[in-house]
Structure 1
């Protein structure tokens, strides 16, 4: 799990987010406690708590006194929207900027994405017939 470029508490928060996004930690289910995370990843409980508290502040987890942490209703949608925005800012905006510099229109960019997708044997929402071929 250790990525030297990111603080451990950020990595903890991301691991929990990934579990919510991929469905292994469903909404309204009990989330791992700070002590469980600290033990599993062999880190200080305060570090795990900092990561968990980020998710509480974000509205993804909620503390239920005496029974633990739980994934909030709507947490997955919240995370999907957040990640979609980040994806757009980090990848789509630079892609469109470069396309503009090259004089490519949106149809050209879509065609390039579809071409690359076929080359990589990926199915995309842009080409729903690709899965049938």
Structure 2
């Protein structure tokens, strides 16, 4: 099994952290930064779905900080990268940051895709600001 498949099969954040650490220590992250970091960010956002309620128990782990750290390491982030970062912020109820990332995506002229808007609209719904939802929807 290669590293990308291992990342995609992670079920727990601890497993993902271990594979992330391995990719750094083995030098693989230097060879293939974008594919590995995008896979890590996507897996992280996917793992957050069932575990968001358990994150409150850990005072030492902040999902937003980890997601940002991975994202900042991606050279030339794509729409896929932005989508996963936005998604990672809507899951632990950090909708304001999700919208800040969407604003950055638009400012940098990174084109949103059909995955972007559901994540952004979810953040708008969490904030309960109808006018904001309508402006994104237009």
Greater fraction helix: 2
TM-score w.r.t. length of structure 1: 0.26
TM-score w.r.t. length of structure 2: 0.26
Which of the two has higher C-alpha Rg? 1
Greater fraction strand: 1
